[in-house]
Amino acid sequence: MEAVGTHRPSFPNVIHDAELFTVGPDEVVVTFRTSDAREVETSVGDRSVVTRGLYHAARVLGLEPATTYALSVAGADPSPLLPAEVTTLDQPAGRLLATFATVNDVHFGEIECGVLGTPEELGPVFTSEPGAEPYPEVMNRGAIDAIERLDPDAVLVKGDLTDRGTEEEYATFLHAYTRLGERMYHFRGNHDAMVTESIAANGPFTIELSGVSLAVLDTVRPRTDRGRISHEQLDWLDELAGGATRPVLVFGHHHPWDPGSSERNDTYFGVNPDDSEGLCAVFARRDAIAGYFAGHTHRTRTRRFPSARNVPIVEIACVKDYPGAWAEYRVYEGGYVQLTRRIDAPAALAWTEKTRAMFAGLYRDYALGKLSDRCFVQPF
Domain ranges of the chain: 15-87, 96-379
pLDDT digits over 222-256, tens only? 999 999 999 999 999 999 999 999 999 999 999 99
- DSSP per-residue codes, 216-232: E---B-TTSS-B---HH
User: CA-to-CA distance for 323 and 32, rounded, in angstroms?
Assistant: 11
Q: What is the CATH code for 15-87?
A: 2.60.40
Mean pLDDT over 262-276 rounds to: 93
Full-model pTM: 0.95
Q: Answer whether residue 8 shows pLDDT above 70.
A: no
User: Is the Cβ–Cβ distance between 188 and 199 less than 8 Å?
Assistant: yes
Q: 47-56, 84-93, 263-272, 283-292: which has the minimum mean pLDDT?
A: 263-272
Beta strands in the chain (DSSP E): 15-23, 27-44, 47-61, 68-73, 85-87, 96-103, 154-158, 184-187, 205-209, 212-216, 248-251, 289-294, 301-304, 312-315, 325-332, 335-342, 375-379
User: CA-to-CA distance for 3 and 366, rounded, in angstroms?
Assistant: 46
Q: Give the mean pLDDT of the chain.
A: 95
What pLDDT score does 4 carry?
39
What pLDDT score does 5 carry?
41
Report the percent of the chain where pLDDT is more than 90.
93
pLDDT digits over 109-166, tens only? 999 999 988 888 898 999 999 999 999 999 999 999 999 999 999 999 999 999 999 9
Q: Look at residue 181 and give its three-state secondary structure.
A: helix
User: CA-to-CA distance for 122 and 306, rounded, in angstroms?
Assistant: 36
User: CA-to-CA distance for 348 and 76, rounded, in angstroms?
Assistant: 22
Q: 182-186, 231-235, 263-267: which has the minimum mean pLDDT?
A: 263-267
The neighbour count for residue 113, using CB atoms within 10 Å, is 21
What pLDDT score does 266 carry?
84
CATH of 96-379, one of 3.30.360.10, 3.60.21.10, 3.40.190.100, 2.60.40.1180: 3.60.21.10
What pLDDT score does 12 carry?
61
Report the percent of the chain where pLDDT is more than 70.
97
Q: Answer whether residue 299 shows pLDDT above 50.
A: yes
User: Is the Cβ–Cβ distance between 198 and 192 less than 8 Å?
Assistant: no
83 pLDDT band, cuts 50/70/90, is: very high
